[in-house]
Structure 1
């Protein structure tokens, strides 16, 4: 699917850029033709000026059609006084009646229709560039001067340009094709990755929902088959538990979808939030006989963020810490340094194997043995926490050693003092030892 889309995008890019490239080459050739002809016309003009003005003629430095010369005395053509070294094929001087008066080079007879200006013609199989200019003196037309030179230098230059274009255009179009293929790949890659993640997410979600649905159906069928009221009640209780599990999964999926849609215009007092979470999770640690350690500043630390989303992210970390720690402590701390607010959740639990660390934030990922379906939920908690933190322009990092514990660190940008007006913070530490 994406390969076909990439080919189509490449074809359109090649068609568009190749057309532009070909049109540019054609325009370049037209410009070069005009430039070469203009250069040859200038050469003809200078030679005509030399022939006419060598005895005191006045001429315009930038001739326009038709080119006219104002002379005081006329030089003689065909005599020994004319000495011009050039590539002229012929030079002819006609009177006002278009009768040939003087010339050198091949003859073509009298001219009856002489138009001033430049023209390209073929003479005896040779392509020539001809210039015809009227000769005037004191407002009186004395005749016309006609010069011609071969187009060989122009044709040679244009042949070289055509050779370059004939080689350069295919090579350029080929390079455009390669660049278009590469560019199409770069454009399609994020879409392809997003589509692959969506496919994987849909497959994982379908798999996770399939199991509780199958269990609910099985329990319902068994409940209908039994005649014992006690057995039916047990089946109904199991169905209720499975339905609650499905509800939690659906809520997690909805939160995962919406957690990156934070508007960005809210403020959160993390100091108050951490205190509230400490009161919530201290009893859970007490139930397992764990040390509960809390470190937070006296002053309020503010960040740009939605309180409920940040509560969910930290809650997920604390839930895992309490769930996978059987002895030792669970620590929650809040501090700030270098313009960042640091929230740390530490436990001395079972830890995470090094091979699993790169994947712990993947959706539906469970660490083998440590995160079974019975204790590990659906494998969405850390993915949700990371997505929430990233939506708040922060980072979530983990350091863990198997059988020694884990430390999760959230870093969020501290709200500027002008907005939050934070006060100097002095650390305050509290520790609780509870028994089960």
Structure 2
């Protein structure tokens, strides 16, 4: 129980801190990508401005004349080795190609956007299309592009660092979460152990005086009734009360000792078909169901699970006893075993008085009684269902209930299935196989 809580704490701590870490890493990567792109754009714009400043524009014989001979890269000068310009193009005001450097472009300008990323192979390019104005009129478009190799390399290196460091950091966070979960659970575990020890010790110590009271009352009941009828009646009440207290102490002691997981030494293979047959045939069940119709429904195959047979038998006995006590005479109680793909269902259904909806969420709480007066008349302590639930959960299962007032209740145990064996008969010999 505490290890499960510790795992949950560590899980949620790792999940929350890991989410924050991933968001933080994503923000860093995004910001670095934006910064790299801005650096490329500044460099690209600077080169474009230098080229545009060397364009010579004028009128000759009444016609405009654009001279690109002095423009770096596009003009008569060979581009410097460190220019990084992949291509440069000059388009007229109408978008017609006039002059270019680099790969042959289309004759018509394709994009007027200022900055654009060209996802070409083998490297991406950052392209700038710069309108060149003269006296408030656009005389043409200068389009140049530089590779994004440096930016891509920087981002690739950052991504590799993140791919390595983020999982390592998540591992460290999970270890820290496990450690902190242990620290957080330690006081709770200590308090729980002390409570369990106190409950166990108190229950154990109470059994001795209760046994003494009960034995003395029973000895007193051996005397003839005529010798003192009032005294005899009081002794009967004392004996009944002592028996009820003894059952209560036994239940408390069981809850204290059986908390948590099952002891590995007590786990064995259980033939559920035989277990249910033995359970329904016990004198305690037959006694409480003597005015009822009690039915057992089993599948043809033999069903085997792993667990503690004594504890499972007690859980089913508690549920059957509860169903029989609150079913009116001539009513019916069913005990069913159903198999599904990976689990089994044990159902206890009755035609009893039912449980109000307001009480259904609380019936597995310790000492909870739907009707205090009626429950005490039936001899209940409010621990039977809590014990059944604790046993089922210790076996890795679930105990659920559905009920309708005046029509009855259905308690259902769901347990993991270990093995299902089909059986047939060959003559007088039972033939079983999995």
Bin the TM-score by the shorter chain.
Answer: 0.3 to 0.5
TM-score, structure 2 as length reference: 0.45
Structure with the greater relative contact order (CA < 8 A, sep ≥ 6): 1 or 2?
A: 1
Which structure's CA Rg is the greater one?
A: 1
